[in-house]
Amino acid sequence: MAQITQNLTQSKITTVLSFAFSVFGIFTYFLFGHFGAHYETPFSSSLVIIFIYWIVALISQLFFIIKVFFDFDVPTEEELYVLQTSGNYFAVNNMLTFFWTYFFAQENFILSEVILFINLANLLLLYITKKTVDVKHIYDWFSVHFAITGLPLAWTIYAIFWNGAALFHSHNESLAARIVANVLIWVFFLVPYFLLAVYKDAAVSLATSFLLY
């Protein structure tokens, strides 16, 4: 029992620290960072949409932390299981988000794109292996699947295109960039539709629709 308690404490510390890094990066390097011409691409959303999206995402992730830390009806063993399975992916996502915000703000688009693809693999593993989409209770769905899987996955897919367009200097005035964007934008329809049809998952669809509003 002492070993379980120790492992649970370590997992909680890792989760909180990674979340703190993510919040710091989002607000310091990203939301209140400098957005110049290099960030204007056919995939760029408005700053208002992005700001609202991240506020909702961070609040929902905070609910995940509160649920894991303060839901006293959940046995300690189950808490540890959640943190060491889904929680590990959540912590990796948080740290990769922090590094992405830093390198994106520094206009190091190559490294930031690599980070996004690594995080995409991390989130797809979480989605496929842990099946958080199967959570049915509305509060648990919001604080677990929506918070640590659906929203991050939708953002990462969107950011890959935005970051990639910035990498190739695909600014709004480029006709070629707009033609390519009009083809690739179908990914934002096909991926959420596939997840909705196969997994009955509305989280990624809702988040993607909002980002493209």
Kindly state the DSSP code that residue 44 receives in the 8-state scheme: P
- Give, to the nearest 10 degrees, the angle between helix 151-167 and helix 47-70: 140
Of the candidates 164, 148, 151, 153, the one whose C-alpha atom is nearest the C-alpha of residue 114 is: 164
pLDDT digits (tens, 9 = 90+) for 125-175: 999 888 888 777 777 788 888 999 999 999 999 999 899 888 887 665 566
Q: How far apart are CA 39 and CA 84, in angstroms?
A: 36
User: Please, where are the H alpha helices in 71-108?
Assistant: 76-105
CB atoms within 10 A of CB 10: 13
**Rounded mean pLDDT of 33-55?**
83
Q: For the segment 63-77, what is each residue's pLDDT rounded down to a tens digit?
A: 988 887 776 666 566
